[in-house]
């Protein structure tokens, strides 16, 4: 079972499905399971406390799969940024061949990765950003629609428009991100001009995801309305699951004169990690997208990817082909 194209050929994978980098979730257990299932698993570099810890996590992932996997490096503006160059060096020296980049001013990192023969996937939320990344020399664009978990940008363009708009302008392969979780979405993305898809929230609700089962069941129970948009006031919009914490963040942010310091105690990454690891839904933010409304179980990664490919192939081969009939003139001629 496989859908192969220029994207799968470039990465050496069987199925055009990528597990995107996710803070505290992108660990060896999940990345190796996705890769073993024929997709592309991704370790999240900054989940590891130090570059040496990342080296060890890469080695651990290699002990769990002999298939291709990648590493995510997300660059965010910060008063006290992590040592990005050291993480980058750890990725390169560990012999990683695929990297997912995201965030603020990635050019220095992209140039170094490319100089070392690494395939670079770059996450974007707008066509103009995708074109800039293409000029920068990345190999694949991961285009994030407004439905996504995480940071969808400030343009609010959903995937149904953003994916083909990007495909119209970008020459390198693109993968669609945001709102994908089953074979219907994969078939739709391919029809819209993408070469594959990137999934985050859907992979959180798998057996191998290294998070508490209460979080997985929370995602399964949620519907497509169960998200909040936070940080809108501060022009750094993020989509998270609705819980008591994100509700409070929205309420405080909507108060006249609110500043980021008012919500800082609620949004720390350590609090989100506590929620994921303990299952305490009131501990911190849980990042999740609107695809929650289409997640109804917690399969293994192998079961999920096999099912998605089967469903996409059936839609493309049977359902869509059955709708294409001969014209009246052709029917008479036959």
DSSP secondary structure code for residue 320 in this structure: I
The predicted structure's pLDDT at residue 269: 93
The two tokens of residue 285 are 């933010």
- Rounded to the nearest integer, the mean pLDDT of the chain is 95
Distance of CA 273 to the CA centre of its chain: 18
The predicted structure's pLDDT at residue 111: 97
The predicted structure's pLDDT at residue 43: 98
**pLDDT > 90? residue 170:** yes
Determine the average pLDDT of the residues in 183-197.
98
DSSP secondary structure code for residue 229 in this structure: E
Contact residues for 328 (Cβ-Cβ < 8 A; gap 6+): none
The highest-level CATH class for domain 6-210+298-316 is: alpha beta
Q: Please give the radius of gyration of the chain, using alpha carbons only, rounded to the nearest integer.
A: 20
The 10s digit of each residue's pLDDT in 50-104 is: 999 999 999 999 999 999 999 999 998 777 899 999 999 999 999 999 999 999 8
At 199, the pLDDT band (50, 70, 90 cuts) reads: very high
The predicted structure's pLDDT at residue 248: 98
Cβ(256)–Cβ(321) under 8 Å? no
Question: Distance (Å, rounded) from C-alpha 309 to C-alpha 116?
Answer: 33
The predicted structure's pLDDT at residue 116: 98
Share of the chain above pLDDT 70, in %: 97
List the chain domain ranges. Answer: 6-210+298-316, 213-278
**pLDDT > 60? residue 332:** no
At 275, the pLDDT band (50, 70, 90 cuts) reads: very high
Cβ(27)–Cβ(210) under 8 Å? yes
Cβ(138)–Cβ(175) under 8 Å? no
Number of Cβ within 10 Å of residue 4's Cβ equals 11
The predicted structure's pLDDT at residue 327: 56
Question: Distance (Å, rounded) from C-alpha 136 to C-alpha 124?
Answer: 13
The 10s digit of each residue's pLDDT in 3-62 is: 999 999 999 999 999 999 999 999 999 999 999 999 999 999 999 999 999 999 999 999
The predicted structure's pLDDT at residue 326: 53
The predicted structure's pLDDT at residue 329: 59
The predicted structure's pLDDT at residue 2: 77
**pLDDT > 80? residue 262:** yes
Determine the average pLDDT of the residues in 107-111.
96
DSSP secondary structure code for residue 317 in this structure: I
b/e sequence 47-66, b meaning 16+ C-beta within 10 Å: bbeebeebbebbeebeebbe
The 10s digit of each residue's pLDDT in 209-249 is: 999 999 999 999 999 999 999 999 999 999 999 999 999 99
Cβ(213)–Cβ(220) under 8 Å? no
Share of the chain above pLDDT 90, in %: 92
How many Cα atoms are found within 13 Å in the side-chain-facing hemisphere of 101? 31
Provide the whole-model pTM.
Answer: 0.95
Determine the average pLDDT of the residues in 278-282.
97
The predicted structure's pLDDT at residue 134: 98
The predicted structure's pLDDT at residue 328: 58
Determine the average pLDDT of the residues in 279-297.
98
**pLDDT > 60? residue 330:** no
């Amino acid at each position: 079972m496989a859908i192969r194209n220029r994207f799968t050929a470039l990465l050496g994978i069987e199925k055009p499905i990528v597990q995107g980098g996710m803070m505290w979730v992108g660990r060896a257990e999940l990345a190796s399971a996705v890769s073993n299932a024929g997709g592309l698993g991704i370790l999240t570099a900054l989940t590891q406390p130090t570059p040496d810890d990342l080296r060890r996590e890469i080695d651990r992932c290699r002990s769990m799969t002999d298939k291709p996997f990648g590493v995510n490096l997300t660059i965010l503006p910060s008063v006290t940024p992590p040592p990005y160059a050291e993480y980058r060096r750890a990725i390169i020296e560990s012999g990683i061949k695929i990297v997912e980049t995201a965030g603020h001013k990635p050019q220095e990192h992209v140039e170094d990765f490319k100089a070392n023969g690494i395939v670079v996937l770059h996450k974007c939320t707008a066509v103009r950003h995708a074109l800039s990344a293409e000029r920068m020399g990345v190999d694949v664009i991961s285009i994030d629609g407004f439905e996504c978990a995480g940071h969808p940008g400030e343009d609010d363009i959903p995937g149904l428009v953003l994916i083909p708009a990007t495909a119209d302008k970008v020459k390198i392969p693109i993968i669609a991100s945001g709102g994908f979780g089953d074979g219907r979405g994969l078939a739709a993305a391919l029809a819209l001009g993408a070469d594959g898809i990137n999934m985050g929230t859907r992979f959180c609700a798998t057996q191998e995801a290294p998070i508490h089962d209460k979080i997985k069941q929370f995602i399964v129970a949620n519907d497509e309305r169960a998200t909040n948009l936070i940080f809108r006031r501060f022009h750094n919009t993020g989509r998270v699951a609705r819980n008591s914490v994100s509700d409070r963040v929205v309420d405080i942010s909507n108060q006249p004169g609110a500043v980021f310091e008012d919500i800082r105690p609620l949004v720390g990454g350590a609090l989100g990690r506590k929620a994921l690891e303990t299952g305490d839904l009131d501990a911190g933010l849980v990042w999740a997208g609107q695809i929650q409304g289409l997640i109804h179980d917690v399969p293994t990664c192998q079961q999920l990817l096999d099912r998605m490919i089967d469903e996409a192939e059936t839609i493309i081969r049977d359902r869509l082909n059955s709708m294409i009939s001969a014209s009246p003139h052709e029917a008479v001629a036959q």
